[in-house]
Structure 1
């Protein structure tokens, strides 16, 4: 079903609510539209080959990955391993990729276990420029999910014995570990 078909169907439902004496306000209509759009939208990463998807997931660990690609395109520079996006998919595809799309694949492929060795970025605890980013090896010593936020916390131990807890390890802090 196309987006036009969904919008037409929703419009009919809105009109029927009005006829029955239960009109929806603008906020309710927008909630229905956005929910329907989210539920029927497919993840654009499913269009990629496994190799391309892995390249995108790796490249997207940079906080400004889309900007970097756009700058390459605007300045007619080769984007290296990401050039296939420009050549095969284009700007509209790039704009359609959301953080949730990336997280869906990362969560499927990268679940941590106690005892796993990972690297964490110094961006976890200080503001750093992309070219100043450093990675430190550590071991996962604890995992817990908060009841209220449903976000996973990960406790890590560095080689020097220091421990650190990463909040939102699969969500907003995913780009800071590998």
Structure 2
């Protein structure tokens, strides 16, 4: 969206809030406008990546959240802004709002994300790797709902390339601590956001 489209969308949203008898005060409107229009008022410093300020665990949580939002065709920034405006908890990425704020979030540009998403795509699994997988692989999950995302530790016990005649993808078999095994099809291709490397044990 360009600056004019954002301003128009915000003015419409402010009007809808008033119609619903939930008007924002002038300070709230100002904060929202400043936050969302900040990239248009200053040059983007591409040399400084705001994501470098995060710990590796925080960065992984944010990247997982962003990928999940993208798969649902949602804007991750707008989701966080809605949480903030509605005073709702943002789950695994609540720390961003608590520690960094909306101005910091708005500094993040696609090129900043791409640096780390490209690194994620380059990581290749090996048998024996310790992972955490999300229950979103086998059931419908939502941040706010009866079934929310949970992460389960497991170990990679099998990897294979699959060619179904139309496409080629990688399948990964993991074993949970209970001994149960589960196959993740398209582990790099379409299910990347449902697994992550387990934090290293020190």
Scaled to the shorter chain, the TM-score interval is: 0.5 to 0.7
1:133 and 2:146 are equivalent in the alignment: no
Match of 1:50 in 2: 52
Task: Say whether the 8 Å CA contact 2:143–2:149 is kept in structure 1.
Answer: yes
Offset of 1:60 from its aligned partner?
Answer: 2.9
Distance in 2 between the 1:99 and 1:150 partners?
26
1:91-130 to 2 correspondences below 5 Å = 93-94=108-109, 96=110, 103-108=117-122, 110-130=123-143
Match of 2:160 in 1: 144
Structure 2, gaps ≥5 residues long:
1-45, 70-75, 89-93, 197-202
Task: Say whether the 8 Å CA contact 2:169–2:185 is kept in structure 1.
Answer: yes
Offset of 1:127 from its aligned partner?
Answer: 0.3
- The ranges of structure 1 where at least 4 consecutive aligned residues each deviate by more than 6 angstroms after the TM superposition are 97-101
Structure 1, gaps ≥5 residues long:
1-43
Worse overlay, 99-108 or 127-136: 99-108
Counterpart among 79, 96, 105 of residue 81 in structure 1: 96
1:168 and 2:186 are equivalent in the alignment: yes
TM-score, L = length of structure 1 = 0.54
Cα 1:57/1:159, change in 2 over 3 Å: closer
Counterpart among 74, 77, 96 of residue 66 in structure 1: 77
Match of 1:19 in 2: none
Cα 1:137/1:76, change in 2 over 3 Å: closer
Offset of 1:104 from its aligned partner?
Answer: 1.5
Task: Say whether the 8 Å CA contact 1:57–1:106 is kept in structure 2.
Answer: no
TM-score, L = length of structure 2 = 0.49
Q: For the pair shown, which has the larger CA radius of gyration, 1 or 2?
A: 1
- C-alpha RMSD of matched pairs (Å): 3.7
Offset of 1:164 from its aligned partner?
Answer: 1.3
